[in-house]
Amino acid sequence: MSFFDDEEILEDFLVEAGEILEQLSEQLVQLEKQPEDKNLLNAIFRGFHTVKGGAGFLQLTPMVDCCHVTENLFDNLRNGKRQVTPELMDIVLQALDAVNNMFAQIKERMPPEPASDELLQALQVLANGDDLAGKGTQAHDLSVASRATANDAVAAEADSGSDDMTDEEFDQLLAALDSADFESEAENRASAPVESAAGADDEITDDEFEALLDQLQGASADQEPSADQEPSAGKEPSANKEPSAGKEPSADKEPAAKSSDDITEDEFEALLDQLQSGSKTSPESADAPPDTPKPVLKAESDPGATQAPNAASSSTPNAAPGPAAIDQAPVAETTVRVDTRRLDDIMNMVGELVLVRNRLVRIGSTAADEMLSKAVANLDVVTADLQTSVMKTRMQPIKKVFGRFPRVVRDLARSLKKDVVLELHGEDTDLDKNLVEALADPLVHLVRNAVDHGIETPDKREAGGKPRQGTILLAAEQEGDHILLTISDDGNGMDPDMLRGKAVEKGLMDRDAADRLSNSECFDLIFAPGFSTKTEVSDVSGRGVGMDVVKTKITQLNGSVFIDSKPGEGTRIEIKVPLTLAIMPTLMILVGDQAFALPLASVSEIFNLDLNGTHVVDGQQVVTVRDKALPLFHLRRWLTNNAPHGSSEQGTEANVVIVSVGAQRVGFVVDTLIGQEEVVIKPLGRMLHGTPGMAGATITGDGRIAVILDVPGLLKRYAA
C-alpha cells in the first residue's frame, strides 16, 4: 500500500501520537474544570499540533484537517479570544474522538475516514472566533448606528471569508473597523487589545522570523547550539523569544526534525501567539519575583553559563513556561524506548539466574564451606535486586489506565444528566505493563457502572440530603506483593434484599437459598452472568453481561474482586491483582512423582483429611468443611494415567487442598504438599498450548519441571 510506505516512520508516529492522544483526553477534561489554565491550553494546542505535524508528514490528510481546525480553535482559546464552554468542549471532544477513530484505522493500516462535515464545520465556526466578530460589530452598532452599513459590509466579509480566515486577517479586519470609526467610544474598548496585539505583530519582520526559525531548528536538532544563539535572539523583541525557543524542542521536536515544511505558517502563528500573549501578559507577570527564573535557568544553562544573566533578565516576564520546558528536556534525554520482547528476554534470563542461584543456595547449605556460603549469600542478594530492577522496567504507572476515566465519567454524566466528580488517587502506582492493559476494560466497566447505577440524579441526591454532586473515587495502592484498586461512589448503594429478590426472580436460586445468602454473597450475585438489577436496558448498562466479564477477567489475572455496599451510602469495589504476571506465587504439590503448581490465588485452604469421614452424594465424593459440602476430587486419577481407581491413595489420611473457582469451591486430594514457591511462568510450546487444565510450566529450584495447573480448565475438562 503506497499509503503507508514508510513503515518505520509510521510506527514512530503511532507510538508518539498514541501517547499524545491519551494525554489529550485527560487534559481536555481537566480543561473543563480549569478553563483559564494557560499552560493547559498551550499543552492541548501543542498536542493537536504535534499530531497534525506527524499526520501531515505521513499524508494522512483527514487527520490533518481535523487536527488543524481544532488547533486553530485552541489557538483562539489560549489567546483569550474565546471562552471554554461545555458546548465547545463537546465539540472538541467529538473532534478528539474523530481523531482517535482515524488513529485506530491507521493502526489497522487502513486509510482513515475523514471526520464528518458537520463536526469540521462546527469546529471551523468556533475556530473563526465568530462570537468575537459579532461582539465587535455589536459594539459599533450600539454607539454609532449610522455606520451600520459599513460595519455590516465588513462583518459580511468576515463571514464570507470565514472559511480560511487566519488570525492575522481577523486582526486586520478589526483594525480596519477600528480605523473607520476611531472616534467612537466603542472603538476604544474593542481595539485596545487588538492594538497591542497588532503592535506585537509589527515587531517581527520576515528576517527576524527567519532567524527565529533557524534558531528553532537548531534548537530541536541540538540543544547546545541554541544556547549559544540565545543572547542574540534575546536582544530583539526581547522577553518572549527565549521561552518560546526553549519550549519548542519539547513541543514540536518531531515535526521539526522530520519535515521542514511543518515549520511554516502554523509554526509562525504559534510563535506570534506566544509573542502576543507574552507582551499582553507582561505587565501583570512582571510583578512576579524576578528571582524565580534564575535557579531554573541555571539548571538549564550548564553549557553556556554566559547566557544566564542575559536570559534571566530577558525572560523574567515569562517565568511560567520556563520550568515546564526544563522539566521536559531532561526526560527526553534519559528515557529509552525498548521493545517489550527484549524485556521479556531479559526477564527470562533473570528467571534462569534465579534458578541457578536457588541451586547454588542448596549446594551452599549442604557444603560446610564458609567462603562458599558467603559468596552464595552475596549472589542471593544481588540476584534478588536484579530481579526487582528488571521487574521495575516492565512497570508502568496506572495513570495510563486512569487517564481515560475523567473523560468517561464526564461524557456519561453529561448524557445521564448527572453531576459527578471523579477523584483519582495513587495514579503513580506502578504495575506490570500487561496488567495495566488488561485492567483497562474491567475498570472502565466498573466506573461506568458507578456513574450509571451508583450515583443518583442531582434531584434525588438533594432529596436524600446529599450534595448534588456525586463523587466517585478511583484509587490504587500497592499492598505488599499486590495492587489494591478501589472504586467507590457515594451513590445509593445496593440493597441485599433486592438482590435476593432478583436472584429468585431470575431463577438463579430458590427463595430459601437466597435467604440463606450472607450480604456479601448477595453482592457477589451481580457477577453472575445475566444478572442485571436495572429494569430497563440502556446503551450504558443493564444488559447484565458486564460484571461477569469483569470477574472473569480479574480472575484470569490471578486477582480477586470484593464488593461492599450500604444502601443509601454507596458502593465500594476492591480489586486485588498481583504486581506482575510474569511471576506467580504457587502451591507446589506432588501427584505421583510429578510436581505440579497450583496458583496460590485460587487456593483457599489446606488441611489433612481422614478419608473415612467423606460421604458420597449423588455419586460424587464430598467432604464437609464448616457445614458446607464440597466435592472432592483425586488429582491422581486425573493427572496420572497409570493409577487404578482406589489404589494406594486410599489410605486413611489425605492432604486436601481447597481451591475456589469463582464462587464454587472444590477439594483436591493430592499426594504430597511441598510448599509455597514463587515461579516464573513459561508457556508450553505450540504443540501443547491449549491443553485443557494446563496453564504453563515452570522450573523448580532443583531444575525439574512442574506443570502449572489451570484450575477452572482442569475442572471443566475432568470434573464435567
Partner 1 sequence: MADVKKQENDQVLQWVTFQLENETYGVDVMVVKEVLKFQDIAPVPGAPGYVMGIINIRGTVISVINTRCRFGLPDREPDDNTRIVIIEIGQHIIGIVVDSVAEVVYLKRSEIETPPQVNKDDSARFIQGVCHRDDQLLILVELDKLLSEEELSELDH
Residue 556 in grid coordinates: 484470569
CB nearer to partner 1: give 150 or 699: 699
CB nearer to partner 1: give 295 or 703: 703
C-alpha distance from residue 719 to each of 282, 546, 637, 668, 711 (Å): 77, 27, 11, 11, 11
Question: Cell 459599533 sits at which residue?
Answer: 140
Instruction: Tell me the C-alpha distance between 564 and 486, whole Å.
Output: 11
CB nearer to partner 1: give 283 or 692: 692
- Phi and psi at 670, nearest 5°, equal -120, 160
Share in percent of the chain as helix, strand, coil (round to 5): 60, 15, 25
CB of 619 to partner 1, least distance (A): 23
Contact between 236 and 208 (Cβ < 8 Å): yes
CB of 355 to partner 1, least distance (A): 7
Which residues on neighbouring strands pair with residue 606, listed in sequence order?
Answer: 657
Q: Where are the alpha helices (DSSP H) in 182-222?
A: 185-203, 206-221
Residue 148 in grid coordinates: 451600520
CB of 599 to partner 1, least distance (A): 16
CB nearer to partner 1: give 136 or 351: 351
CB nearer to partner 1: give 142 or 688: 688
Contact between 684 and 697 (Cβ < 8 Å): yes
Contact between 436 and 396 (Cβ < 8 Å): yes
Contact set with partner 1 (CB under 8 A): 348-349, 351-352, 355, 594-595, 638-641, 682-688, 691-694, 696-697, 699, 703-707, 717
552's CB contacts (< 8 A; 6+ apart) are none
CB of 709 to partner 1, least distance (A): 9
Which residues on neighbouring strands pair with residue 560, listed in sequence order?
Answer: 576
Instruction: Tell me the C-alpha distance between 223 and 233, whole Å.
Output: 15
CB of 703 to partner 1, least distance (A): 7
CB of 704 to partner 1, least distance (A): 7
Residue 181 in grid coordinates: 470609526
CB of 381 to partner 1, least distance (A): 21
Instruction: Tell me the C-alpha distance between 363 and 367, whole Å.
Output: 6
CB of 3 to partner 1, least distance (A): 29
CB of 359 to partner 1, least distance (A): 12
DSSP helix/strand/coil, 642 = coil
CB nearer to partner 1: give 74 or 638: 638
* Other C-beta atoms lying within 10 Å of the C-beta of residue 253: 18
CB nearer to partner 1: give 193 or 693: 693
CB nearer to partner 1: give 631 or 693: 693
CB nearer to partner 1: give 270 or 355: 355
